[in-house]
Copies of this chain bind each other. A is one copy, B any other.
Amino acid sequence: MTIENTDPDLVFHPLKKIEIIVKGDKKQFVADLLDRAGAKGYTLVRDVAGMGEHGFHEGRLLFNDQASLVMFMAVASDDTIRRVAAGLKPLFEKNTGVMFISDAKVVRLEHFLKKEQAQG
């Protein structure tokens, strides 16, 4: 990413973005996990539907047609995102859900990192 900045205040800091899509009844679990893992906030998109296989039942694929889901978006350090991913793994072994990780840049680093990380 090459966004040139002549304004020294407009620096783009690299972080990781995670998008997590889970059933509505797992919302609190994910919110707590993000908090414990060190994320300083999140965005929640409601009224999300999903389609995908979520396991086998008597040899047939069950499809999860348009289930009511929520999508979390959070941006944080690599360490925080890794902790979130590790915490979601057992959830996803038994429940519908996916997560995507990507690179993102932010302007105000202190809004996404705990105080000690932003200074370090």
Binding site for B on A (CB under 8 A): 1-5, 7, 9-10, 12, 16-17, 19, 21, 31, 40-53, 66, 69, 71, 73, 75, 78, 81-82, 85-86, 88-89, 92, 98-108, 111-112
CB atoms of B40 and A44 under 8 A apart: no
Copy number in the complex reads 3
Please name all residues of chain B whose beta carbon is closer than 8 Å to the beta carbon of A69 when the two chains form the complex: 43
Instruction: Say how far A65's CB is from chain B's closest CB, in angstroms.
Output: 11
CB atoms of B101 and A89 under 8 A apart: no
CB atoms of A43 and B98 under 8 A apart: yes
- Looking across the interface, which residue of chain B has its beta carbon closest to that of A21? B43
Q: Interface on chain A toward B: helix, strand, loop, or mixed SS?
A: strand
Which of A5, A51, A66 has its CB near the most chain B CB atoms (within 10 A)?
A51
